[in-house]
Structures are given as structure tokens and as C-alpha cells.
Structure 1
Amino acid sequence: MDVRYSTDPARARGFDTAQLRRHYLVEDLFVPGELRLTHSHDDRVLLGGAVPGTEPLRLEPDDTLRTDHFRERRELAAFCVDGRGAVICDGTAYELERGDLVHVGRGAREVAFASRDADNPARFHLASAPAHRRLPTTVVRSADVAPVGLGTPASANEGTIRRYIDGTPVESCQLMLGWTKPAPGSVWNTMPAHTHTRRTECYFYFGLDDEAMVVHLLGEPDETRHVIVRNEQAVISPSWSVHSGAATGAYSFIWFMAGENYRFDDMDHVAMADLR
């Protein structure tokens, strides 16, 4: 398991490109036949990717968490980015297709990921946060999550957001997760920007062409930095950081967050004129 330690705004101001990438960018999430995890000390969030082949991939305990099993004190969301597969929880298989999600509550002992076609393997994006109570495992189908419109064409930020985990379709302890997709011709996401110093948020970008990239903004609003992000890479945004970006082509992203409160609209908006 890759471990990322917390950073403060004053230290981040002095980071060069390599340091920014090492602290905040998560690369190589999807490797065929592997399950990869990154743990952040910011709100103890954890993100990862699983690409099972002919055999299921099991979510094993890790000394980073120092628990008997992974879900002993955690909840987990697995989003099917591509392909068809199943998340197997304590012997029960939850079948998922592209755009479907399963939320696994605290306490499930055995969790594994399987592909229905090893030649076209499923690709699962994983998000996890500490949990204080047990909740049932719940599947959310893409067709059941209504898209909500965002932005305008004139601002190049038109798109849709689908909120999978926000206390409505799925009850969770502190994890929130959604899928945002800019409309054709729009490039910006989450602009105007905001922070929320009570929650850490992670963006997982996917659906980009091989030559495309996202210029992701992070840092304090008056001291921004940027990270170049490629397809199927993720960015960890500390609670004090903005999280916004623009791409050179079509893309989507999964966002998830966890922290002090459970309010989707807890956002400290930043005026465009105040960005630096």
C-alpha cells in the first residue's frame, strides 16, 4: 500500500513539479491482475483500483491500517469504470456493469473483485474512509442515478453530476461519491472553485484519449499550483486546497470525499477574481 502523509499550505508553496506529483498525484491505479491502494493521512481516506483477470482479487488486511481485516473499521465504495464484474462480500456476489457502484458497510470480512470476462476485465475504482457504525451493503445502478445539470456553455463548464453516495440513495457513515461528466465542448470542472476545510476530496479522471491531459489546479486559492493528470490517474486534495481543472479533450471524473461533516453543500466558494 502506498502511503501519503499530510502536508500544510506553507510547505506546499515550495514544492517543485516532482514534489507536487509525489504528494498529490496517484498514478498506475489500474494494472491488469492487480489490486492497488493508496492511503492518505488526510482524513484517512484511501483510494485504489482493481483489475481482476482469471482469478478474483482479494482485499487483504494491511499493516498500514493495523486491523484484523480491511473493513473492520472502514466503509468501501467500488465503482465499475469499465467491463462487467462482481464485488464478492462474505460470499455474496454483487454484479456490476459500467457505471454501477456497490457500497460495502463496515464489518464485512471478506471482499474480492472478479471479472466476468478475463479478456475484457472489469475495472473497479475503490474509495474508502473510516466508519463508526455498520451499514448494509447496497448496490446503486447507473440508470437509477438521475443526472443533474451543471454550468453553462458560455463558461465552458456545462456538464452533469450524478450523486451516488450522499445520504439519499445510499446511507454511509462519512463517505460521499459522485460522477461528473462535462458536456461536449466544455472543458472546466468545479469552476468557480471552492474549498471545504472540513473534508478531503479525491478526483479520479477517466475517459481521456491517450494524448489528452487534465490541468488540475490545487493549493490555496491565492497560491495555486497545477498538476498534469493523464487518463485513469487521481489527485488527492487536502481540505485547504482548491480542486478544479480543465482538459484538452473529453473526460469524466469520480469524486469522493470524507471528513468532519456530512453536507454535500459545505463549500467555501472562491471568487474568480481572488484566484492567483
Structure 2
Amino acid sequence: MLTVETRHAIHPSHARDMWTEELREHFLAQGMFREGEIRLVYTHYDRFVMGGAVPGSGRLTLDVVEETKTPSFLDRREMGIVNIGEPGTVEAGGETYEMGRGDVLYLGMGSGAVSFSGAGRFYITSCPAHKAYPSKLVTLADCKEVTMGAPETSNKRTIKQFIHPQVMESCQLILGYTSLEEGSVWNTIPSHIHDRRMEAYLYWGMDEESRVLHLMGEPDETRHLFVANEEGVVSPSWSIHSGAGIGKYTFIWAMAGDNVDYTDMDFIQPKDLR
């Protein structure tokens, strides 16, 4: 079963006047992981798509998505898949990929139908592509790790880069995830924006009762969302993205836009936030 929800782009001046439920309706992605279903959120931010596939005891295939008006979803797109569950299998382009928890699969433009099976919980990201790059499975052993922050500022974290220029080539999709160390809560300090790229987040590895306070909005007009495990956030290019969580958590970040320069960002110091 395939379900697609469309999210239209929101101007920052509109977001200033939104109340809580409006903010959650436009920027928070819930219910993406349901057994026996593929559930996608199609956004008008750089035509980025995020979603989930949970095959359970069956097999799920992602092929035709009416919103793209192409014969197959990946005809003019690339895709990044993260397995946030138990071991599972993805088949695409005549290849079979066995994915453990935390592994990332990149599928290049023109890979055709994508099938999911096994006990995996597959987080799907996708954006338009203008060039076909080779598909590649990047395991935890293959990623590039960067450690940042410090315990005294409550933001010691490890960034794992998978679909990233220092690991492999892609068209415009960049993806990795960040894990907070025990006792650290702040995930991105100082905060930043990158006007040339949108970004999307999936928070996972959290207890059922835990929440992350995700900060968003313009630097001088910040807003917030309380986010639960396996919920996502759509982050426009004009919005900051920082957060603080209760207990241990990880967030997957994925970006699409004008370039693949991970360091292309404009920092906003805490003293300048409002």
C-alpha cells in the first residue's frame, strides 16, 4: 500500500503567524512507519521526498508515484535509504542489498522499481537528479565519522557521513546522521541556516516517552516543535534547525539544493537568536 502526502512551500512571513497545530501540520511528518505500507511526504522544498517503508512479513515495492508524473519514481530522481530497524533487504536495478541497522543505501537515477523485504524499517529520502551516479551500499564500517562538541556545553556528538562528497558521489542528495553522547542534549549549536539547500530530519533511537524540542523559524522569529521517535521535520532553507532532547537520541539529516558543500552554512550564535 502506497500513501503520498503533499506539503506546499511556506513563506517565512506566513510561518511567523502560525499557531502550534499549523506549524505541526506543515513542518512535522508523523506516521511514516506503518507495517505493510510505504508512506511518503512529497514536499515543494526542492521537490524533496521523505517517508518510510515497513514490509513486515511481506514485500513492498515502490515504483509509480503519481505526484512525479514519470513512469517510475526514480526515472528523474535519486534516493537515499536508511535502515533504522532490524536487518532487511532492498532490491533495485537488478541488485540485492542486505542492510543492517544503521546502513545507508544510495540509489542513482534510473534504478527502476525498489522493493523492500525483511524485518527492516526503511527511511526513504529522495530528490530530483540530473545525472545518474552508481548505486552504492554504505555500511556503518564505510562511513566517515566526525566528533564535535563537548560535555561542558552539553553537545558532544558523533556525525556519521554516508551520502557525502568525502564518501561517495551523488547528484544533489547529501545524507548522514548525528548521535548524541550520554549526557549531551543539544544537537546543533551554534545553529545555522543554509539558504542554498533545504533539509529534512528524522529523529530515532528514542524512548517512547522521550521528546526532542526542535527549534525552527527565522533566527529572529524562532518557533518550536516537540518531536517523538521516528517523526520527521521538514526544514526550509530560511529556517534554523537546532534542538535539545530528553535522553539518548539520533537524528538523520538529508539535504537537497544547489550544491553538495556540507560546510556551506551561515552560523547564528545563541546570543543572536530571538
| Unmatched runs of 5 consecutive residues or more in structure 1 | 116-120
CA shift at 1:91, angstroms? 3.2
CA shift at 1:122, angstroms? 0.7
Amino acid at match of 1:266: D
CA contact (8 A) 1:35 1:48 kept: yes
Normalised to the residue count of structure 1, the TM-score between the two structures is 0.96
Match of 2:263 among 248, 265, 271: 265
| Unmatched runs of 5 consecutive residues or more in structure 2 | none
Distance 2:144 2:235 in 1: 26
Amino acid at match of 1:240: W
Instruction: Establish whether residue 6 from structure 1 lines up as the match of residue 9 from structure 2.
Output: yes
Instruction: Establish whether residue 155 from structure 1 lines up as the match of residue 153 from structure 2.
Output: yes
- Equivalent residue number for residue 118 of structure 1: none
CA contact (8 A) 1:221 1:241 kept: yes
Q: Secondary structure at the match of 1:273?
A: helix
- CA offsets, 1:94-143, max 9 Å, x none? 1110111110000011211111xxxxx21111110100011111010101
Residue correspondences, number: 271
Match of 2:228 among 227, 230, 242: 230
Match of 1:212 among 210, 213, 218: 210
CA shift at 1:86, angstroms? 1.0
Percent identical pairs in the alignment equals 45
- Equivalent residue number for residue 198 of structure 2: 200
237-246 vs 136-145, which moves further: 136-145
Amino acid at match of 2:146: V
CA RMSD of aligned residues (A): 0.9
CA contact (8 A) 1:77 1:101 kept: yes
CA contact (8 A) 1:91 1:110 kept: no
Match of 1:73 among 50, 73, 76: 76
Q: Secondary structure at the match of 2:256?
A: strand
CA contact (8 A) 1:81 1:99 kept: yes
Amino acid at match of 1:106: M
Distance 1:12 1:64 in 2: 25
Q: Secondary structure at the match of 1:144?
A: coil
225-234 vs 106-115, which moves further: 106-115
Instruction: Establish whether residue 245 from structure 1 lines up as the match of residue 248 from structure 2.
Output: no
Match of 1:105 among 94, 105, 108: 108
Distance 2:143 2:112 in 1: 28
Question: 1:158-177 residue pairs with structure 2 within 5 A?
Answer: 158-177=156-175
Distance 2:90 2:157 in 1: 29
Question: 1:12-27 residue pairs with structure 2 within 5 A?
Answer: 12-27=15-30
